[in-house]
């Protein structure tokens, strides 16, 4: 029997609700270990990579990408907030991993909160992680919950000077990071679509109780996916509408493409939710049809044996004078009558197309 999941309040509501605004406290899955940091500095002619936060002179002609894997270290976040002159409310949002995807504009930067999603096909689960991306005047800063992300392709493009990323400024890197996360949504959505197709075949051919449990799990999974992606459309739209000196108007054009992708993914998720709802109705119809088939067989069998039982009941009565009991071939006649009844009923059922 599937264990019922209890709905719990978020850590934010339990631990941080009475704290003053701007108080930095980590909200999310409990994590331990050191925070991993990385710095990539590049332009069209040069490329450098460091395994820590390398705060040298932030030259305008160089793009600086600072990546922090782990937001549970409050002291480090406070120090980074001071180093990069970040608003205390912004740092508080970075430490809160239950944030809704959003875009906020500050004097010193643009803050983008986004969910990085991967789909575990074996367990049929979503792995969700919050990523905070900051675009400042001379750099891009990314904060992740843990090590491992979808940015390896971008790192490889920067290192190998492939594409336009090395010839562009930090606002294009800001867009590329967001676009990389959105592109991986398509992979997760495609895998979920394949799972729905397999589940549809399973329900059509051999539905069981576990099939209904899978449909219910799909409902929760698609709802979680929608909560992660649907607000992103509004967030990207805000970037398109808000004019800001940190983003070149030429780069804004690329965000139109990201916005279209968000709409496409959202529409696909809505269609999958409708399909999943249809699977539940399909399961109930399949079970009902299977039950009707069983009842049909039992009814036909009963219809065949009822007249035979009637004949057997008559000649099984304990009356002394029943003429047929003295017949020499009475037993054979009894079976001939039953065979005639059987053949007649089977022929009638086939004529009615009940068989």
**Residues listed for the chain:** 355
Listed residue (256, 247, 273, 1) closest to 134, CA to CA: 247
The class (CATH top level) of 292-351 is mainly alpha
Residue 346 has pLDDT above 90, yes or no: no
Position 7 confidence tier, pLDDT thresholds 50, 70, 90: very low
* pLDDT computed for residue 2 by the predictor: 44
Mean pLDDT of 294-314: 85
CA-closest candidate to residue 7, choices 202, 311, 224, 186: 224
49-83 pLDDT, tens digit per residue, is 998 887 777 777 889 999 999 888 888 888 888 88
Please tell me the pTM assigned to this model.
0.77
> What 8-state DSSP symbol labels residue 79?
H
Residue 130 tokens, joined: 């919050």
Stated as kind and residue range, the H or E segment containing 348 is: helix 330-351
Q: Mean pLDDT lowest for which of 16-20, 94-98, 287-291?
A: 16-20
Give residues with Cβ within 8 angstroms of 199, minimum separation 6: 211, 214, 215, 218, 279
Per-residue pLDDT averaged across 223-234, rounded? 89
* 198 membership: H or E segment, kind and range: helix 170-205
Q: Two tokens at 33?
A: 């270990």
Specify the pLDDT at position 184.
92
Positions of CATH 3.30.460.20 in the chain: 24-286
Give pLDDT tens digits for 240-269. Answer: 988 888 899 899 989 999 999 999 999 999
Helix, coil or strand: residue 352? coil
Whether residue 229 is predicted with pLDDT greater than 70 in this model: the reply is yes
Which token pair is 256? 């139109």
CATH 1.20.1050.10 fits 24-286, yes or no: no
CA 240 to chain centre: 27
DSSP element (H, E) containing 105:
strand 102-105
Confidence band of 289 (pLDDT split at 50, 70, 90): confident
Q: Are 161 and 141 in contact (CB under 8 A)?
A: no
Mean pLDDT, the chain, whole residue set: 85
Instruction: Residue 116: name the closest of 107, 125, 127 by CA.
Output: 127
Q: Give pairs for 310-317: CB < 8 Å, separation 24+.
A: 311/337, 311/338, 311/341
Radius of gyration of the chain (CA): 34
At residue 5, the pLDDT reads: 46
**Which residue intervals of the chain bear CATH 1.20.58.340?**
292-351
Q: Distance between CA 82 and CA 54 in Å, rounded?
A: 15
**Contact (Cβ atoms closer than 8 angstroms) between residue 242 and residue 105:** yes
Q: Is 238 exposed, middle or buried (0-12, 13-18, 19+ CB in 10 A)?
A: middle
What residues contact 330, with CB distance under 8 A and at least 6 apart? 315, 324
pLDDT tier at 199, thresholds 50, 70, 90: confident
């Amino acid at each position: 029997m599937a264990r019922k999941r209890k709905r719990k309040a978020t850590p934010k509501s339990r631990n941080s609700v009475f704290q003053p605004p701007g108080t930095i406290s980590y909200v999310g899955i409990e994590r331990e270990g050191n925070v991993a940091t990385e710095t990539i500095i590049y332009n069209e002619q040069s490329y450098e990579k460091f395994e820590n936060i390398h705060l040298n002179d932030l030259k305008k002609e160089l793009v600086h990408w600072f990546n922090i894997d782990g937001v549970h270290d409050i002291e480090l976040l406070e120090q980074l907030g001071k180093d990069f002159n970040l608003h205390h409310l912004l740092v508080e949002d970075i430490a809160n991993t239950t944030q809704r995807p959003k875009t906020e504009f500050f004097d010193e930067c643009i803050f983008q909160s986004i969910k990085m999603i991967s789909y575990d096909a074996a367990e049929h689960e979503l792995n969700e992680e919050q990523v905070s991306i900051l675009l400042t005047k001379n750099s891009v800063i990314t904060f992740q919950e843990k090590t491992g992300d979808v940015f390896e392709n971008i790192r490889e493009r920067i290192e190998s000077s492939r594409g336009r990323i090395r010839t562009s400024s930090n606002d294009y890197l800001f867009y590329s990071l967001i676009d990389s996360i959105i592109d991986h949504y398509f992979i997760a959505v495609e895998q979920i679509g394949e799972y729905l197709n397999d589940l549809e075949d399973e329900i059509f051919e051999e539905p069981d109780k576990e099939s209904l449990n899978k449909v219910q799990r799909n409902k929760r999974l698609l709802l979680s996916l929608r909560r992660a992606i649907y607000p992103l459309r509004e967030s990207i739209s805000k970037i398109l509408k808000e004019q800001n000196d940190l983003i070149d108007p030429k780069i804004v054009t690329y965000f139109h493409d990201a916005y279209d992708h968000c709409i496409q993914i959202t529409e696909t998720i809505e269609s999958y939710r409708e399909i999943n709802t249809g699977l539940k109705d399909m399961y109930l119809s399949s079970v009902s049809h299977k039950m009707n088939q069983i009842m049909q067989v039992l009814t036909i069998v009963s219809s065949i044996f009822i007249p035979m039982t009637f004949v057997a009941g008559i000649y099984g009565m304990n009356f002394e004078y029943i003429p047929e009991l003295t017949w020499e071939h009475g037993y054979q006649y009894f079976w001939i009558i039953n065979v005639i009844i059987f053949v007649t009923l089977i022929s009638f059922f086939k004529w009615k197309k009940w068989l």
